[in-house]
Chain A
Amino acid sequence: MEQLVVSPSPHLHARANTASIMRDVLIALSPAVVVSLVFYGWSELLLLGVCVLSCLLTEALIEKYLMKAPVTIADGSAAVTAVLLALNLPAGCPWWVAVIGSVFAIGVVKMTFGGLGQNIFNPAIAARVFLLVSFPSQMTAWARPASIASAWSLSPVDAVSGATPLGVVSEGLRAGLPLDQIFAENGFSYAQMLLVNLGGSAGELSAVALLAGFVYLLARKVIKPTTTLSIWLTILGVSGIFYLYNPSAYTDPVFNLLTGGVLLGSIFMATDYVTSPMSRTGCIIFGFGIGLQTMLIRYFGAYPEGMSFAILLMNAFVPLINRYCHQPKYGRA
């Protein structure tokens, strides 16, 4: 008698799996990575390499020696965390900051909760906030090569350094300058923010590169647009109201959308499966919460940006949101 495999239905499986989804996220991140490498050169490559190496190593060592479990770095989730963290670090940030961030992201935020799928907070975001609080000066200043040529030259070169646009603006506002003057003095323009916004973290470099990733994720059905759009609309709405109320004291909606890691955060971090709600309603609420807090922190808080704090805080609410928000069930309306 022949040996037939017998197992319950379904007998087929869709093509996507955890590793292929993580691969898709990495592909979606690649335009942003490429742009950052082109403009920031060796120093960015170093940060990226350090993050990837320390994230994978941390996960592998913990699984092998502490958890005595199979090593799962091949699923790609640690690599995603590593790239996201690298994109969240300011250009020219010291390598040891990247190491500390990676070890914290994987070792503390992810693995202590039990690894992939168990963590409450997004590892990259939590690490960024941790670094921001622990090393404020290293995390808010950037230093970049003066030109693309010098970025890739082998001899040491001059660097340009400064603060992020949001930092500059909130600094200026605090000094009592009107907004248009701050914009003009620093040469800020929307076109520049959209295409290549030099300075700041690698992930803030090019809005277009991040949006390309967003389109890819949607096309591959890796994520739904709900959370991201909810964040954008809330940020546009809240800053719109304040801007209309007093355009010289409050930054305008488009500026807020394009700076301070809003795109990186809303496309890649707030949509992290593990740390975002399951249902559509849940995602709308989650996105609204992130957008609202981001704007409140920016306008009234001590930090110029706010996106990471907002995501982190809303991460904590996800279990609660999941408890009360469910998708509609068939025949139970």
Chain B
Amino acid sequence: MDNKFTFRIGGVHPADRKLSRDCAIEVLPLPEKVSVSMAQHLGAPAKPVVAPGDRVKTGQVIAEPAGFVSAFVHSPVTGTVTAVASKADLAGKMVMHIDIDVEKDEWAEGIDLTPELVTPLPDDKQLILDRIKAAGVVGLGGATFPTHIKLCPPPGKTAEYLIINGAECEPYLTSDYRMMLERPREILIGAALMQKVLGGPKCIAAVEDNKPEAVESLKDALHFLQLFSKDYENIEIRVLKKKYPQGGEKQLIDAVTGRQVKSMGLPIDAGAVVQNVATSFAVYEAVQKKKPLLTNVLSVTGDCLPPERQHNYLFRIGIPLRYIAQVAGGVPEEAVKIVSGGPMMGKAIANLDATTVKGSSSLLYLSAKQTLRREEGPCIRCGKCAQACPMGLEPFLLKKLAEVGDQQALEQNAVQDCLECGCCQYTCPAYLPLLDTIRIAKADVLNLIKSRPKN
């Protein structure tokens, strides 16, 4: 009998295509210039605290949070600030950036750069939180929500589960996988740190069954850590049955705990906090090494690339995308679209001169055959979109309602619950652009809901 868990509603099975899974993480050499975005997290963009001409060291704060939901940004390099100005991000949207000419790599004081693993956890919860905040750690699983806020449940709510998200359910992406293979101990120490801050909920690291090596690696690491201290007793490694979008917070909570987050609610309403494995690693570095979030791992991958040109790079945040593409051998001929993130939810890059941000996870090259949209036909009412929807919505209906602009019916049919996971559009045999329409309708309905007086 199959006793592996997965989420209960909907989901699809796109082919895995983890082409870069066996490529060890390489350190990406530094370029001559970097450009650091102020909008690398959900919430208010950070406020620059440096000016052109200033000299900055690696790891030094260059921008401060500009509001409750915001985060610190640090210089990824040592050099001179050349500009603090608005520039286009990868989608062409204008965002404040700090440009720095790279001179050398001299780190700010107090950062532990030694490779030693630091296992003892600090006792002071506030200290842990303060270090996470000071290091500018944000969720690296996609939403880039500032981590320290997520670790402080609102009054009256407690976390019963801390779920470490190692699902990496998007096709092609392998950065989390490589981290689980190469840095499992750090990931679990990060998990234990967050567990401590949250008051000791049950911690479950969840990995899909297409990554047995990652499961083994985490299990070994857990075993190793448990030899040192009791701090790692309450951590479990859980194998989940592969299905997209398992890595979605709501789906992961359902898969791991059997609970569902109520509509418009937060994971904490179901007693759960979800953190990605890469975030967990960043927490480790922030707390145990006092190292700010300056690096992340990114896969350069796609079917247009031969095996020897697939890469997983440890990159400094702020390195331009074009530089990474060049180091990796240039954009392949066949690629017509480059996606930052997975093929299901990632963003198509409009501007390769844009820079990497904390949450960057890939440069995914897609060929015309793979990605160009095909001519749409009439809806054949097959219901496949509804069967695929992990929120149990009826995309065919939402699209129709959106076309006539019936906001009331859209809200009743829960358009606001849409995850924008793309399962519906991926599945639709008539090639209907379901999510394109639903996305707009969802934004409208959310605005409507927000504009209502709260009682």
Listed stretches B69-77, B161-169, B280-288, B332-340; interface member: B332-340
A11 and B339 contact, Cβ closer than 8 Å, known pairs A5-B371, A273-B382, A328-B9: yes
A14 and B14 contact, Cβ closer than 8 Å, known pairs A2-B331, A4-B349, A117-B381: yes
Shortest beta-carbon distance, B416 to chain A, in Å? 11
A278 and B394 contact, Cβ closer than 8 Å, known pairs A9-B344, A13-B426: yes
Shortest beta-carbon distance, B440 to chain A, in Å? 10
B 368-397 binary contact with A (CB < 8 Å = 1; else 0): 101111100111111100110011111010
A5 and B426 contact, Cβ closer than 8 Å, known pairs A116-B377, A278-B386: no
A 164-204 binary contact with B (CB < 8 Å = 1; else 0): 00000000000000000000000000000000000000000
**Residue A329 CB within 8 A of the other chain:** yes
Q: Which residues of B contact A6 (CB under 8 A)?
A: 91, 337, 348-350
A224's nearest neighbour on chain B, judged by CB, is B387
Q: Are B343 and A274 in contact (CB under 8 A)?
A: no
Q: How far is the CA of A328 from the CA of B380 in the complex (A)?
A: 22
Q: Are A5 and B337 in contact (CB under 8 A)?
A: yes
**Residue A64 CB within 8 A of the other chain:** no
- Selected from B171, B347, B382, B394, the residue in CB contact (under 8 A) with A12 is B171
Listed stretches A15-23, A54-62, A133-141; interface member: A15-23
**Residue B425 CB within 8 A of the other chain:** yes
Q: Chain B interface residue count: which class?
A: 35 or more
B 414-439 binary contact with A (CB < 8 Å = 1; else 0): 10010010110111011100011001
- Selected from A14, A274, A279, A327, the residue in CB contact (under 8 A) with B380 is A274
Q: How far is the CA of A75 from the CA of B339 in the complex (A)?
A: 31
Residue with the greatest number of chain B CB neighbours at <10 A, chosen from A2, A5, A326, A327: A5
Q: Are A12 and B431 in contact (CB under 8 A)?
A: no
**Residue A7 CB within 8 A of the other chain:** yes
Q: How far is the CA of A142 from the CA of B390 in the complex (A)?
A: 50
Q: Are A10 and B348 in contact (CB under 8 A)?
A: no
Q: B235-251: which have CB < 8 Å to A?
A: 250
- Selected from B265, B378, B380, B420, the residue in CB contact (under 8 A) with A9 is B420
Q: How far is the CA of A3 from the CA of B422 in the complex (A)?
A: 25
Q: Which residues of B contact A278 (CB under 8 A)?
A: 381, 383, 386, 394, 396
**Residue A112 CB within 8 A of the other chain:** no
Q: Are B383 and A9 in contact (CB under 8 A)?
A: no
Contacts across chains A and B counted by CB atoms under 8 Å: 152
Q: Are B343 and A11 in contact (CB under 8 A)?
A: yes
**Residue A237 CB within 8 A of the other chain:** no
Q: Which residues of B contact A5 (CB under 8 A)?
A: 336-337, 348, 368, 371-372
Q: At the interface, is chain A mostly helix, strand, loop or mixed? A: loop
Q: How far is the CA of A266 from the CA of B196 in the complex (A)?
A: 58
Q: How far is the CA of A331 from the CA of B386 in the complex (A)?
A: 16
**Tally of A interface residues using CB under 8 Å:** 37
Q: Are A331 and B347 in contact (CB under 8 A)?
A: no
Q: Are B336 and A329 in contact (CB under 8 A)?
A: no
Shortest beta-carbon distance, A81 to chain B, in Å? 13
**Residue B309 CB within 8 A of the other chain:** no
Q: Are A326 and B394 in contact (CB under 8 A)?
A: yes
A4 and B337 contact, Cβ closer than 8 Å, known pairs A11-B344, A116-B380, A332-B263: yes
Q: How far is the CA of A21 from the CA of B392 in the complex (A)?
A: 23
Q: Are A330 and B390 in contact (CB under 8 A)?
A: yes
Q: Which residues of B contact A2 (CB under 8 A)?
A: 331, 352
- Selected from B346, B429, B435, the residue in CB contact (under 8 A) with A17 is B429
**Residue B215 CB within 8 A of the other chain:** no
Q: How far is the CA of A93 from the CA of B396 in the complex (A)?
A: 41
Q: Are A9 and B381 in contact (CB under 8 A)?
A: no
Q: Are A17 and B383 in contact (CB under 8 A)?
A: no
B 127-161 binary contact with A (CB < 8 Å = 1; else 0): 00000000000000000000000000000000000
Q: Are A12 and B429 in contact (CB under 8 A)?
A: no
B 9-30 binary contact with A (CB < 8 Å = 1; else 0): 1001010000000000000000
A329 and B417 contact, Cβ closer than 8 Å, known pairs A8-B439, A274-B380, A279-B383: yes
A10 and B344 contact, Cβ closer than 8 Å, known pairs A117-B378, A327-B392: yes
Q: How far is the CA of A273 from the CA of B423 in the complex (A)?
A: 19
- Selected from A12, A118, A279, the residue in CB contact (under 8 A) with B371 is A12
A14 and B427 contact, Cβ closer than 8 Å, known pairs A5-B371, A274-B380, A332-B262: yes
Q: Which residues of A contact B344 (CB under 8 A)?
A: 9-12
Q: Which residues of B contact A12 (CB under 8 A)?
A: 14, 171, 343-344, 366, 370-371, 426
**Residue A72 CB within 8 A of the other chain:** yes
Q: Chain B: residues with CB nearer than 8 A to chain A?
A: 9, 12, 14, 91, 171, 250, 254, 260-263, 265, 331, 336-339, 343-350, 352, 366, 368, 370-374, 377-383, 386-387, 390-394, 396, 414, 417, 420, 422-423, 425-427, 429-431, 435-436, 439
Known pairs A10-B422, A116-B378 / 8 extra A-B pairs, C-beta < 8 Å: A4-B336, A6-B350, A9-B422, A11-B337, A14-B429, A20-B429, A117-B378, A278-B386
Closest A-B pairs by Cβ, 6 of them: A10-B422, A329-B392, A278-B383, A273-B382, A117-B378, A5-B337
Q: Chain A: residues with CB nearer than 8 A to chain B?
A: 2, 4-14, 16-18, 20-21, 72, 75, 77, 115-118, 224, 273-274, 278-279, 326-333
